[in-house]
């Protein structure tokens, strides 16, 4: 499987290039694993990849980098998007003041991977994962992963959290409790008083003021990506052949409505993409193909 990479017409420093290469390689591994699951289910579904150029005021299309949107619609994965992007330029006035380290200088660089999977079978959890590297007057890593089951199973929740905890514990004993709590707080719908799923980890602003900090935080971010591949596919394979009822499917559609509400109203990544000239289809690939509000 040959996956396209974003066109980046500006020079990258060694840190930026290393982060970009890792996110793109993780994309390739995830897409290959998801396609293999489709093969196991008897489906020949594959990802379709669409490159896009960043479009922002003061820059010609592509001058500020771009990304590649990858989408697969299959038998197991009703809709899964795996996106990579590498972009640079200046934040719009006002928005720059909301970004770490950009208030005094709006110039930025960002590279990362973002994934959302909505499943055909209500017994299989939806999932979200992203990791990213940003540079303003500061530089830092952020990201995480969280599980979003319409029909929660404790076995699946325990497995997902155990894999993420092991990845965190390998770097710092405070990472898992801190980043789990951050996910619980972040993935919350205040207007409904509920979390959108069963959590995971979320982290941001792991700053890289020197090479030692960059190496440590990059190593942790790579382990988060590897942990996702160890945590989610086994759950899919465990549940994808289970039967479901009309009531189960209706519950999934209603739960998807909650997911859409969060991503459209509260998600910072959605806002970041819209404010920085990102591709609309890539940004909104997080939305489910079908949802219901009763």
CATH number at residue 109: 3.40.1500.10
pLDDT digits (tens, 9 = 90+) for 112-155: 999 999 999 999 999 999 999 999 999 999 999 999 999 999 99
Residue 81 lies in a domain: yes
Residue 5 lies in a domain: no
Helix (H, G, I), strand (E, B) or coil at 185: helix
The range of the structural domain enclosing residue 210 comes to 14-286
pLDDT digits (tens, 9 = 90+) for 77-89: 999 999 999 999 9
Among 128, 159, 161, 175, the one annotated catalytic:
128
Number of H helices and E strands in the chain, helices first, is 7, 9
Query: What pLDDT score was predicted for residue 228?
Result: 98
pLDDT for 201 beyond 60: yes
Residue 2 lies in a domain: no
CB burial class (10 A; 0-12, 13-18, 19+) of residue 284? middle
In contact, 151 and 248? CB cutoff 8 Å: yes
Question: Cα(32)–Cα(40) distance, rounded to whole angstroms?
Answer: 12
Residue 193 lies in a domain: yes
pTM across the whole model: 0.94
pLDDT for 1 beyond 60: no
Question: Cα(115)–Cα(27) distance, rounded to whole angstroms?
Answer: 9
pLDDT digits (tens, 9 = 90+) for 229-251: 999 999 999 999 999 999 999 99
Which residues does 173 contact at the CB level (< 8 Å), separation at least 6?
none
Q: Which two tokens stand for residue 29?
A: 């591994």
Query: What pLDDT score was predicted for residue 2?
Result: 62
CB burial class (10 A; 0-12, 13-18, 19+) of residue 42? exposed
Average pLDDT of the chain, as a whole number? 94
Please say if 128 is a catalytic residue.
yes
Residue 292 lies in a domain: no
Residue 124 lies in a domain: yes
Q: What angle do CA 53, 58, 64 make, to 5 degrees?
A: 30
In contact, 185 and 234? CB cutoff 8 Å: no
DSSP 43: -
What is the number of structural domains in the chain? 1
Helix (H, G, I), strand (E, B) or coil at 179: helix
DSSP 197: S
Residue 294 lies in a domain: no
Question: Cα(58)–Cα(61) distance, rounded to whole angstroms?
Answer: 10
Residue 45 lies in a domain: yes
CB burial class (10 A; 0-12, 13-18, 19+) of residue 211? exposed
């Amino acid at each position: 499987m040959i996956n396209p990479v974003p066109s980046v017409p500006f020079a990258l420093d060694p840190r930026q290039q290393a982060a970009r290469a890792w996110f793109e390689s993780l994309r390739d591994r995830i897409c290959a694993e998801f396609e293999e699951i489709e093969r196991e289910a008897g489906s020949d579904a594959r990802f379709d990849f669409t490159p896009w150029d960043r479009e922002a005021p003061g820059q010609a299309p592509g001058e500020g980098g771009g990304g590649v949107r990858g989408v697969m619609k299959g038998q197991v994965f009703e809709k899964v998007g795996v996106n990579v992007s590498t972009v640079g330029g200046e934040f719009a006035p006002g928005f720059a003041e909301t970004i770490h380290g950009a208030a005094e200088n709006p110039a930025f660089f960002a590279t990362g991977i973002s994934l959302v999977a909505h499943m055909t079978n209500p017994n299989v959890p939806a999932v979200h994962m992203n990791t990213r590297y940003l540079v303003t007057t500061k530089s830092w890593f952020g990201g995480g992963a969280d599980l979003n089951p319409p029909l929660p199973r404790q076995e699946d929740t325990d497995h997902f959290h155990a894999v993420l905890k092991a990845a965190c514990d390998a770097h710092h004993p405070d990472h898992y409790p801190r980043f789990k709590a951050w996910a619980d707080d972040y993935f919350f719908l205040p207007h409904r008083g509920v979390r959108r799923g069963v959590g995971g980890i979320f982290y941001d602003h792991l700053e890289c003021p020197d090479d030692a900090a960059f190496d440590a935080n990059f190593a942790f971010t790579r382990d988060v990506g590897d942990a996702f591949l160890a945590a989610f596919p086994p759950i899919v394979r465990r549940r994808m052949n289970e039967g479901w009822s009309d009531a189960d499917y209706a519950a999934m559609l209603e739960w998807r409505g909650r997911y859409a509400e969060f991503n459209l109203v509260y998600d910072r990544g959605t806002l970041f993409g819209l404010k920085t000239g990102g591709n609309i289809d890539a940004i909104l690939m997080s939305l489910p193909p079908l949802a219901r509000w009763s």
